[in-house]
Structure 1
Amino acid sequence: MFSIVVTRQRVTMTQRKRLSNTQNTPQSRRQHGTLVAEEEDDDPTFTQPSSSQVQRGLERFTPAQVDQKTAEVVQYFLMKDQKKIPIRRAGLVKDVVKEYRNIYPEIMKRAERLFDQVFGLKLVEIDKKNHMYILINKLETVEGSSPINTPTSPKMGLLFVILSIIFMKGGVVRENLIWNTLKKLRVDPGEKHEEFGDVKRVVTDEFVRQRYLEYVRIPHTEPVEHEFHWGQRAEEEVSKAKILEFMGQLHEQDPQSWSQQYREAHSTPSSSQASTRSQQR
């Protein structure tokens, strides 16, 4: 199945780029049983300015200064988004906004408008509690498509296969099933892969940090076991309908024959996400 995903996209070796700066595995921590990347906590000294505070803050800067700071924020997002890792408000305020924090909402509003009108991107806050943002290709999602409808690299093909397994199994899959399936596709997580390197690290660390996957510890298991869920970014970017179409082609079956998955894939985005989340709890 994995070879079919890659072959369908006609990916050549010359088109494949390896991320040399992802060789070192960052430390990680657990939140409510979920393995997530170790990241800086939100700045406790920063609170969202009120409208009146923003208005007073704007009086301190010239329009050119505000435009310049907005451009710096946009550049920061574009640079960070190359690794597909969500951008935290804490890092954004600390590294870029700095002394302009009193007009943070205005800067973000302008940045959002620039992403929309100039770059065709949509700025999405995927975690309102921890204030984490991602960029989505707005032009593709408007047309009902998404960046992972048709994987453009072997690594995205690997992710597509894993997301397909999770979706077809009802939204939650034990890790052993993932590893056993990948072995059948000649991608052994216990061996170094020519294309992916350390497969287990890519799946449980890189894809988790990018919020494509959630890697959750199963309580009261000995030895310790984990399960995979779709991550927040996958919920925003990936079309379940396209996954079902792919599975139908692969098994030469009508996608509607999987009635539960078909209903979920063709429901509204909000109800689809709610359905997936309810299955995960």
Structure 2
Amino acid sequence: MAEPHNTQCCNLQDSGQAQQELANAQATTAEGDEEETSTTSHQVYGGGIPSPPQSPQRASSPCVALASIPDGPSEEASIKPSEELEDPLYLLHHAQYIKVYDLVEFLLCKYRMKAFTTKAEMLECVGRAYDEYYPLIFSEASECLKLVFGIDMVEVDASVHSYILGTALGITYDGMLTDVQGMPKTGLLIVVLGVIFMEGNCVSEEIIWEKLNNIGLCGGRDPYIHKDPRKLISEEFVQEGYLEYRQVPNSDPPTHVFLWGPRAFAETTKMKVLEFFASIAKTHPTAYPERYAEALEDEIDRVQTWIYQRMLQQV
């Protein structure tokens, strides 16, 4: 348990400064309570992601467009009118998304192999004809890896632009040994943890399934992520210690709620999850003042706990 607290200590170099920031956040929350109604946490941005209050409508995530890429030219031709297929701008845009898809597949292979990759390898994957568009393709592929699969790309050598891939937000689980082999499940876990936090730290089953239905999961079977997402969440995530699944006392018929489990508290933080959700909505964590104040308080508690543990070790 000392390691997570040590990480938080690095993030909060000045506990007094964090206390002041918390006070400011709580003041902002108090001023904005009338504007931020209880429906805010139920709003959905894009695929089931809570949106900040009064946030402007934004363009779809590249992951959404990536998911809509057809399997082959015949399907594409049946969907798009011929004049659109002849539009050079459309062809370029479509080709770029296919290259994003190709790069994501390549990087997932590297992740499974636990292997490094380099810019030179990624350029070869994308194709030299797309050198000019590589920064955009690389950026969108990185975003999709993080949002869909919960995989981060970390540059380890800037001189040759080499990268290693690992699970995001400090989470050590990737679900690679579940029924569907080879597809990381960390992204889905992060989404569930985020929904629980954004909804007040205790969420009914119905809300979880509703939110996940909004991103195309749990309404049926999804062989790409898991053949049974409900089972993955209510059984495996619980068995792994990331979630708690409790029956509501005296409920008739029996109803259940989800909460963060001990492993979630040990490996990640509310602030990291909030930052993840804010990045999806292209905003800042302070756009959710109530949740931001709570996450800051959690950061301060972690630092104080770490300091107390270190003092005990030195006695």
What's the TM-score, normalizing by structure 1? 0.44
Q: Which has the higher helix share?
A: 2
TM-score (structure 2 length as normaliser): 0.40
More relative contact order, 1 or 2 (CA 8 Å, 6+ apart): 2
Q: Looking at CA atoms only, which structure, 1 or 2, has the larger radius of gyration?
A: 2
